[in-house]
């Protein structure tokens, strides 16, 4: 009986194995069919691919990427693609890498404004293919590593950028490295801030003005600047800040007035340390030249922290520091010991650490004086410096600290008044579209706030009418025009900018871009009208003593 059961069990086992083998065979045949390479579909000719890329770009899209610049939120990207492999925070924008998608996504205020693609499809296209299909680009330039960049305006508000290795004799027709479809970061999100659409043109222009005040007490003129002209920021000089209590009384009165306004004020001062120290009652910190000789980045960070603490103690929220000029000309009459030295690496490292120290105290840092004031022979306070340097020359020295600071999170860049005839023979840097928009915005990808140095310096006032100078500064790409002296100059500038918008010389969209950047910065630092009661001068000076260079 047992043997019979065993035989039956064995027969069933054999049948089951045969059935399984048949099923596996059928399954494998199915799988084989599925994994067999499909008949290859030939990709379009390169010129057809170019046309297709332009067609997508005109809609704000990139081939094989399901997002639209200016209309997609970064959360949608996360939902579809997950977290990025790497994230870079550059000034006011964030870039996230997705290697598996061959794409990089740039976003600001949660809105995607830049999509870059390095897909194999794109890398089948050559320089001549693009030129054959679309002809000459709207803008042709080179980036800091020598790549050729062709920029085409496409659709109503998009740019398509082709990034290609520089053509050479051995390779005159290089293959495309990557493409980028971009919409303006500010315009992409301005619709997300309803308050901008409700602002009057005068209110918008007011936000773009940074001006000085007269005297040491709260005056009717200062009140007009805040409540009637609605300026965005006020700068204070030594003549305004003669006494500790008087200074806090002045700032508290201004803040009280500002409570009635839609936006808090930038309250700024040149507190660099060394000989350029505006705040009253404080012991002097070492000069940047002395700090440069020490060459200790951690010490520079501590200096930055202390500068931020001094600013907070008095109620200021913006420091026009640090100086990132390389003091390459020992006869330079304006920079000197304000610079960390003539070594570009030291200037970059120490300047960036000072900037970060200031920022760590929730104080806005303004890096200056772009594109570099260290090799000028005259003081721009007195006359217009002329510097016979090409862009290539600047890239080897002057521009390096600024480019690195932008990569490390600079919020504001101040532009100097320097005429560079080899780059722009008509306008000084503070009014030059080539220097501000082409170099600082496009090449360095800086999308933070750009502001002029004081437009009432002789470098400008002796050569330009202040109203037209302000207009040219805005057209060049500045977000803020600094007019430090004389109320009449402020009114001339504001009226001239308003007229230029009404006449169509400057678009409302261009004004909106700047207002967005300004308001975004104020929001980032949570500026408030909190009043200061007392300033502990003894504690601040004791900290300076501890920071003295032994």
Active site residues: 381, 453
Q: What is the CA radius of gyration of the chain?
A: 30
Between vectors from CA 459 to CA 321 and to CA 483, what angle results, nearest 5°? 55
Tell me: cis bond preceding 371? Omega within 30 of 0 counts: yes
Residues whose CB is less than 8 angstroms from the CB of residue 257 and which lie 6 or more positions away in sequence, other chains included: 218, 223, 226, 227
Distance CA 74, CA 185 (A): 13
In angstroms, what CA-CA distances link 36 with 26, 29, 40, 42, 457? 15, 10, 11, 17, 74
What the block records as the tokens of 321 is 């520091």
Crossing angle for the helix pair 220-227 and 244-258, to the nearest 10 degrees: 40
Distance CA 71, CA 189 (A): 9
- For residues 323 and 396, what is the distance between their CA atoms, to the nearest angstrom? 18
Q: Contact, 421 vs 470, CB < 8 A?
A: no
CB crowding 125-150: b at 16 or more within 10 Å, else e: bbbebbeebbeebeeebeeeeebbbb
Other CB atoms within a 10 A radius of the CB of residue 195 amount to: 11
CA distance 273 to 322: 9
């Amino acid at each position: 009986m047992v043997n019979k059961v065993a035989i039956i069990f064995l027969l069933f086992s054999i049948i089951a194995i045969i059935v399984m083998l048949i099923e596996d065979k059928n399954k494998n045949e199915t799988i084989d069919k599925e994994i067999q390479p499909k008949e290859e579909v030939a990709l379009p000719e390169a010129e057809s691919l170019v046309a297709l890329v332009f067609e997508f770009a005109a809609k704000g899209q990139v081939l094989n990427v399901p997002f639209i610049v200016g209309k997609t939120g970064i959360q949608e990207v996360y939902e579809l693609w997950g977290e990025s492999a790497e994230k870079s925070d550059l000034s006011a924008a964030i870039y996230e890498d997705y290697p598996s998608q061959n794409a990089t996504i740039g976003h600001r205020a949660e809105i995607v404004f830049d999509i870059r693609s390095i897909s194999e499809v794109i890398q089948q296209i050559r320089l001549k293919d693009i030129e054959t299909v679309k002809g000459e680009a709207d803008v042709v330039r080179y980036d800091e590593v020598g790549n050729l960049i062709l920029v085409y305006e496409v659709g109503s508000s998009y740019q398509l950028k082709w990034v290609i290795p520089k053509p050479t004799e051995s390779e005159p027709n290089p293959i495309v490295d990557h493409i980028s479809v971009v919409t303006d970061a500010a315009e992409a999100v301005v619709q997300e801030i309803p308050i901008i659409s409700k602002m009057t043109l005068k209110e918008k222009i007011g936000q773009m003005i940074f001006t000085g005040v007269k005297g040491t007490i709260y005056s009717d003129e200062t009140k007009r600047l805040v409540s009637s002209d609605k300026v965005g920021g006020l700068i204070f000089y030594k003549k305004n800040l003669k006494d500790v209590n008087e200074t806090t009384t002045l700032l508290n009165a201004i803040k009280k007035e500002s409570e009635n306004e839609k936006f808090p004020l930038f309250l700024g001062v040149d507190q660099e340390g060394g000989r350029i120290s505006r705040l009253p009652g404080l012991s002097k910190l070492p000069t940047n030249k002395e700090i440069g000789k020490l060459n200790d980045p951690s010490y520079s960070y501590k200096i930055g922290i202390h500068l931020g603490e001094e600013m907070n103690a008095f109620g200021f929220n913006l420091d026009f520091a640090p100086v990132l000029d390389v003091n390459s000309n020992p006869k330079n009459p304006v920079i000197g010991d304000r610079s960390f030295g003539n070594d570009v690496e030291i200037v970059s490292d120490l300047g960036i650490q000072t900037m970060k120290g200031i920022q760590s105290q929730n104080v806005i840092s303004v890096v200056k004086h772009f594109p570099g004031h260290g090799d000028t022979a005259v003081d721009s306070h007195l006359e217009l410096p002329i510097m016979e340097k090409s862009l290539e020359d600047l890239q080897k020295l002057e521009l390096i600290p600024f480019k690195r600071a932008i990569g490390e999170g600079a919020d504001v860049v101040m532009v100097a008044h320097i005429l560079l005839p080899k780059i722009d023979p008509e306008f000084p840097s503070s009014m030059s579209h080539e220097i501000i928009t082409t170099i600082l915005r496009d090449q360095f990808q800086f999308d933070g706030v750009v502001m002029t140095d004081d437009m009432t310096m002789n470098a400008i006032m002796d050569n330009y009418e202040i109203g037209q100078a302000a207009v040219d500064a805005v057209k060049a790409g500045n977000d803020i025009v600094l007019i430090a002296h004389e109320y009449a100059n402020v009114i001339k500038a504001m009226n001239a900018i308003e007229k230029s918008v009404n006449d169509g010389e400057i678009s409302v969209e261009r004004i909106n871009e700047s207002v967005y950047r300004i308001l975004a910065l104020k929001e980032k630092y949570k500026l408030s009208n909190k009043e200061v009661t007392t300033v502990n001068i003894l504690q601040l000076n004791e900290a300076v003593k501890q920071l003295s260079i032994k």
